[in-house]
Amino acid sequence: KNELLKTAVKSFDDALRVSQGKNMLALMGKARAYFSMHKYPDALAAYQDVLHKMPDLVDPDPRIGIGCCFWQLGFKEDAKVAWERSLEINPDSKIANILLGLFYLDASGHVPVNSDDFLKLYRKAMTEYTQKSFKLDKEVPITCSTFAGYFLSRKAWENADKLAHKAIQYTDVNAIASDGWYL
């Protein structure tokens, strides 16, 4: 897989060279390839370069990639800011919504379960962001997996099973498929 990604980076570099650095989709592709290679600083720089050159680009949205890079680099608050900015520009971004949902789910895991903070964070994750993402598109694998976990905790077995199967069916990400099989 790594060799294919290296070849992709070379192809994107060729496209960028031919376009004199103006092909932003090639730069986005290069950023995504770097991300898949776990070269998060390089991916972040490429996504930021896209945003600098095309601040109005929303589809694909480089802010999503910027946030994912920040998350992988351990800068979760910066990731949140990037995803919130994405939602300011496109409130119907199913991906920004689920990523913010996951941010708040992660945050809820760092406070006592019986605290008001936990309830506030968990509610925000599930009702404000995950639910909105699901309403926008019922077939986003990570949203299905997240809701399957929620229904599992509520002992709503049928809903959990149906959503876990959807997550498995629609994903090409091993971690999401694994979550679906686990659920």
Can you read off the two tokens belonging to residue 98? 């689920």
Cα separation of 16 and 38, whole Å?
22
Domains of the chain, first to last:
1-90 (1.25.40.10)
- Give the tens place of pLDDT for each residue, 150-172: 999 889 999 999 998 899 888 88
For residue 158, the model assigns a pLDDT of 92
What local confidence, expressed as pLDDT, does residue 102 receive?
Answer: 98
At 183 the pLDDT is 64
How far apart (Å, rounded) are the C-alpha atoms in residues 27 and 87?
22
Residues 59-104 have pLDDT tens digits of 999 999 999 999 999 999 999 999 999 999 999 999 999 999 999 9
